[in-house]
Amino acid sequence: MSEKNLEKTTAAAAEQEKDHILDIKDLVVHFETDEGCVKAINGLNLSVRREKTLGLVGETGAGKTTTALSILNLVPSPPGVIKGGSIVLDGKDVLQMKEKELEHMRGNEVAMIFQDPMTALNPVMTVGEQIAESVMLHENLSQKDAFERAKEMLKMVGIAESRAYDYPHQFSGGMRQRVVIAIALACRPHFLIADEPTTALDVTIQAQVLDLMKELINNNHMSMLLITHDLGVVAEVCDDVAVMYAGRIVEVGTTDEVFNATRHPYTEGLFDSLPNLKEQGEELVPIKGMMPDPMHLPEGCAFAPRCPYATEACNQSVPELRPAGGTHYVACHAYDDPNFRLRRNANG
Amino acid sequence: MAEKKIILEVQNLTKYFDTPKGKLHAVDGVNFSIEEGKTLGIVGESGCGKSTTGRTLLKLLEPTAGKIIFDGQDITNYRRSQMRKMRTEMQMIFQDPFSSLDPRQSIMQLISEPIKEHKLLNSKAEIEKRTLELMDIVGLARRFVNTYPHELDGGRRQRIGIARALAVNPKLIVCDEPVSALDVSIQAQILNLLKQLQRDMGLTYIFITHDLSVVKYFSDDIAVMYLGQMVEKAPSAEIFSNPTHPYTQALLSAIPIPVVGKEKPPRKLLRGEITSPVNLPDQCRFMKRCDACQECCQNSANPQLREIAPNHFVACHIAK
């Protein structure tokens, strides 16, 4: 984008930002290890609209979890170094906050749910105590009141109050994830980060937990960043979706825009790789090759070596996000040619 | 019609584990047979006994009861030494290619190990040639021949697992969640590879997975398991177009579909979770979670598979 254009859009951007609970700009996070510098996040731009759910999709190593940890300023350091950028959460830059402010923010304003519920829970405390602990840490409540709140929270996630006195190992995987959700929501945060919350669960249990999360988010007017590799889960739960590749967003828009008017070749590749869209017997179309090593990223577009549409231009420079109609943005040089269409969109 | 050869037949396969609380019914009277060159998908949730079924029919676990007939031979009571010979015929591919590969062996050692173990080839040159050939077959670049598993990504590690299984020229391969640990784009690569190998070598697969979308793409027949029993078994297309057991219906409708803004079938949410497989009563095992459950279910014995349409079997009192 040229400088002039940038100025013009600044005013509009400020207006837009009010609707956003989270705005990540030009975030760069590297892990400086003995073997070399792992470029996990390389100029990430991402926004979450208020009271909406954004799905962050990508493969292992795309930088999804590092993004989540950055929002809480929890990137392990060393070796992690936040090289630049800003993360504005509810009007305040997380990266400028002091430790005290951060502590207040975590849990009160933002809560996080992790993939594996067993490792997230303390095995030697009853679940009631664990929920109450999180309440007492953030709110000025007596132990008794906090425990009452814990029971309330359990009821909210569909667990009988009497089970507040049970330990994590007495619960099944799906129930444990409900407990984790109860802990996350106990301090009534406005923003929830869920990192693969249902990946470790069976499909029928996943459906239950997703339904519960959707309901709680709606009823409590929360916003959510849902990290997942499963496009089915995105379609089920999210309003918006951002596709991440090698530490950058390559496509972002509403789920309708990204699913029904796919723009980026990588997103197209993800859809083509999914077996459940195919009739039986048809060959799957995998994306050739593998994600580049984040220690040795290619010069230009990181996806170019795997991209069926790549041209010489793709190896020259990293493509910036460009508008693709509505709230839809794509980072791909192919659209320098105004007539470019993905195969997926070619026939109708 | 070409002559159909049944390569594997399993009758009343049963595996119980003794636990302090009682008998754990991991696999409880499973029956099926597979034609040569076909794929049977076994689907179910954690704890339904699908992996135990796979392991028991390869006799990696001793069956408690039942019969396993492989290629015309009853192998149920084969001793270890007899089974050793059978291992060249039946192989297994595991879910996690990292924990199933010895980290201290190079790719060359890993792939040549089964060849040496079964003394299929003797000279070093022949073994090396065969190893490189196997690497070509599974799409591993020859330059990796001296690398170790930790240097490779999940997709390539799974290719090693496949090469090891193929090394002994088996007829049957039990694939236990072979792509569950992989990213979707890599998943598709491995699934295509397995399918191509089946076409080229006439392999028979038992494909164990929790992911219905994967088996749909892959299987000729699908068996759905719940608490150690098969509750529905039918040709793949039939089970997806006409799921009959209430559990199969719920399982199918629980898959999140990656489609936005278009008509989707209504969700059928299951209540509760799978019950404990210890000391099961002689009753329908799905009853407590079933929304179609009627009085007759509570008063009857555990339903057995019955044929409701050609080749379509269901174990349910009320299914028609």
Q: State the nearest Cα–Cα gap between A283 and chain B, in angstroms.
A: 7
Is 60 exceeded by the pLDDT of residue A3? no
Residues of chain B whose beta carbon is less than 8 angstroms from a beta carbon of chain A are 45-46, 153-155, 183-189, 191-192, 195, 210-214, 216-218, 236-237, 250-251, 253-261, 267, 269-270, 273-274
Partner B, chain A 149-178, Cβ-Cβ below 8 Å: 172-175
Token readout for A288 is 């050739």
Q: Tally C-beta pairs within 8 A across A and B.
A: 126
What are the residues whose beta carbons fall under 8 Å from the beta carbon of A253, sequence distance 6 or more? A240, A241, A324, A326, A327, A328, A329
Q: How far is CA A109 from CA A185, B23, B93, in A?
A: 10, 49, 46
Kindly report the CATH number assigned to the domain that includes residue B57: 3.40.50.300
CA–CA distance, A148 with A130 (Å, rounded to integer): 12
Nearest residue to A33 (alpha-carbon basis) of A295, A298, A245: A295
- Of A159-168, B231-240, B250-259, B275-284, the one with minimum mean pLDDT is B275-284
H/E run at residue B69:
strand B65-70
Task: At B193, give phi and psi (nearest 5°).
Answer: -60, -45
Return the bridge partners of A28, or none.
A42, A84
B45 and A274 within 8 Å at the Cβ level: the answer is: no
Q: Indicate whether B118 belongs to any domain.
A: no
Nearest residue to A75 (alpha-carbon basis) of A29, A133, A34: A29
Q: Model confidence over A50-85: pLDDT tens digits?
A: 999 999 999 888 889 899 999 999 998 888 899 999
pLDDT at A279: 59
Q: Indicate whether B239 belongs to any domain.
A: yes
Q: Indicate whether B83 belongs to any domain.
A: yes
Domain count for chain B, please give it: 1
Residue type at A37 in one-letter notation: C
Q: Indicate whether B278 belongs to any domain.
A: no
User: pLDDT tier at A282 (50, 70, 90 boundaries)?
Assistant: low
CA–CA distance, B151 with A233 (Å, rounded to integer): 32
Q: Model confidence over A92-104: pLDDT tens digits?
A: 899 999 999 998 8
Please name the residue of chain B whose CA is at the shortest distance from the CA of residue A287: B185
Asked whether the CA dihedral B172, B177, B181, B184 is positive or negative, the reply is: positive
Q: Indicate whether B113 belongs to any domain.
A: no
Q: Indicate whether B139 belongs to any domain.
A: no
Q: Indicate whether B136 belongs to any domain.
A: no
pLDDT at A1: 47
Q: How far is CA B305 from the centre of its chain?
A: 20
Which member of B237, B254, B258 has the closest CB to residue A206?
B254
Domain ranges, residue B42? 6-89+170-244+303-314
CA–CA distance, A41 with A62 (Å, rounded to integer): 8
Taking the model in full, what pTM does it have?
0.84
Residue type at A277 in one-letter notation: L
- Of A21-25, A329-333, B260-264, the one with minimum mean pLDDT is B260-264
Q: Indicate whether B61 belongs to any domain.
A: yes
